[in-house]
Structure 1
């Protein structure tokens, strides 16, 4: 009988010890509820990239997107945010599509891609990739476009230009840096529609923005859209005149230029610089890079770069940046469908 009592006592004490051990990883928060430390939390805290970090750019060295990637890599290193080195790789072709394919096919947790605007190649009828193949991690800077005419143009306001288009859209030559199925063309059509212009616009395609500038200066085209860094020198020398900025608010660097919104249109046009990663990589890696890029955009050195390039200092995290990509992508898809 005594042995039975002893065994029962030992069994109860053992169960008590096990119960205590099972709650050792549970703590109470300020409201008194229990928080459990999970493996995922530890993984987020412990994740670090393995260098060198592959940083893909889908455009040629020296361009705006290339400079943004190299400046981001340098800032991340010099500010001590990321210790591992970066290797920037330019993979040109297809308006950035070849670089996207490289990321999709070979990307991992240590591979970034510098993105600009939305990629027209994702929305073509025969596209072999979609936004779902990627993770828009963060927008690290923003940019807009200016509607620009020659300084001696007969159209010195947006209303004058649009009224001329309404009278005869074929008499206004619109310069393009590339083909006529791009996002820029979609935006021109949105602008025309907002002013009640129903006739087809006349576009003059070129091989790059460097060809558009002399054509505008020479009066062989009437109007074109440019990002501020490309055109500011010509504005300062009064060789060209900006009728509007396609941002929702006036730019700090060019406060004298009114927005298109102020002049009766609800159309805006942004070309943000952001960072993509391959879909399917770990949540820990995505969170690491999102946080690192956010910290980078808060540094003085990055802000100096933004100011020098006339960018808009605007960070967007993963959710907000992805929402922007989705919205603009749908608008472009609607434009493409309307052309068929």
Structure 2
């Protein structure tokens, strides 16, 4: 009888220990799964149409980041920048949806076009700062920058093609102020492709674009670049002057960023940021960007937030001009 009780007691203790071990194993398994990131493909939302600079830079970075993360980064384009930013903002903060866009999302929030911008997301990195942005005029109408400025200052109308409240709009406003003109007429357009067609057809007088987008038209003699909106010349474009060196103090760098939904865990963000840092140091990635006269450079999440916050402060001063108030 005593042996039976002892047997039952030992059997019970064995069951308890098995349950404890099983529970510990399950919990350990869950813990390992939670800390393993990424373990699936990542959707990169590009808040712009395919074929432009935003799409191109996203695809270059994604290609070399895949080698670091060991998973596929699928680029998904959105026709509407606002829709893309909002989709990422509302996505599950699990690290598998990330936005690649530029700081015009901050500008559109400043002017009231949207209520969500880059700084409402969890910023991961600013890996590209494009200093090749330029303002373009038609060679069929103007001789050079001096001719353009003189005619604009005399009261001749300048038709500027922009996307209201965007970088393109701000760049043209900055030029109008810098040359002390007040006769710019702003017409709406969505992208550089539309503006190129309109300028070749003689319908517009001015637009803003990356130099690489319009370089062939400058070399063919169809367009004239007024100069880069940068503090100094681009190392890959040594013969292209800046507007600043020509006496017009206009600078407008275009900051491209990766951002996650706002509640994304810092460990996920840092893992993704580490992949960006390694990718932009890859010589093949550097060469791919060289094609577009761009030097990629990693910035940490903290430094990237500061860059975008400074951009926001600079945009605030032009709010009334851009909104017509």
Equivalent pair of 2:172/2:207 in contact (CA under 8 Å): no
Residue 55 (structure 1) aligned with residue 38 (structure 2) = no
- Over residues 302-337 of structure 1, what are the superposed CA-to-partner deviations in whole Å (9 max), with x where a residue is unaligned? 112101233243333323322232222233333233
The answer for the alignment partner of 1:196 in structure 2 is 180
Deviation, structure 1 residue 47: 5.5
SS at match of 1:115: strand
Name which of 60, 69, 73 aligns with 2:62. 73
- Over residues 178-233 of structure 1, what are the superposed CA-to-partner deviations in whole Å (9 max), with x where a residue is unaligned? 3x333322232223323333x25222323432221133223332222221221111
CA distance in 1 between counterparts of 2:134 and 2:114 reads 30
Residue 84 (structure 1) aligned with residue 67 (structure 2) = no
- Over residues 247-292 of structure 1, what are the superposed CA-to-partner deviations in whole Å (9 max), with x where a residue is unaligned? 2111223211110110122221222332111223222222222221
CA distance in 1 between counterparts of 2:78 and 2:160 reads 30
Name which of 146, 152, 159 aligns with 2:134. 146
Going from structure 1 to structure 2, the CA distance change for 1:174 and 1:290 (only over 3 Å counts) comes to same
Going from structure 1 to structure 2, the CA distance change for 1:121 and 1:193 (only over 3 Å counts) comes to closer
The answer for the alignment partner of 2:114 in structure 1 is 127
Going from structure 1 to structure 2, the CA distance change for 1:207 and 1:70 (only over 3 Å counts) comes to closer
CA distance in 1 between counterparts of 2:103 and 2:42 reads 23
Residue 64 (structure 1) aligned with residue 53 (structure 2) = yes
Name which of 206, 212, 216 aligns with 2:189. 206
CA distance in 2 between counterparts of 1:309 and 1:84 reads 26
Name which of 147, 159, 167 aligns with 1:183. 167
Tell me the number of residue pairs that the alignment of Structure 1 and Structure 2 aligns.
287
Going from structure 1 to structure 2, the CA distance change for 1:131 and 1:116 (only over 3 Å counts) comes to closer
CA distance in 1 between counterparts of 2:97 and 2:166 reads 27
Q: 1:1-340 counterparts in 2 under 5 A?
A: 48-77=37-66, 80-93=67-80, 96-108=81-93, 109-119=95-105, 120-125=107-112, 127-143=114-130, 144-157=132-145, 159-168=146-155, 170-176=156-162, 178=163, 180-197=164-181, 199-338=182-321, 339-340=324-325
Structure 1 segments of 4+ aligned residues over 4 angstroms from their partners: none
Question: Runs of 5+ in structure 1 lacking a partner?
Answer: 1-42
TM-score, length-scaled by structure 1? 0.76
Deviation, structure 1 residue 244: 0.7
CA distance in 1 between counterparts of 2:231 and 2:171 reads 14
CA distance in 2 between counterparts of 1:147 and 1:301 reads 30
**Root-mean-square deviation (Å):** 2.4
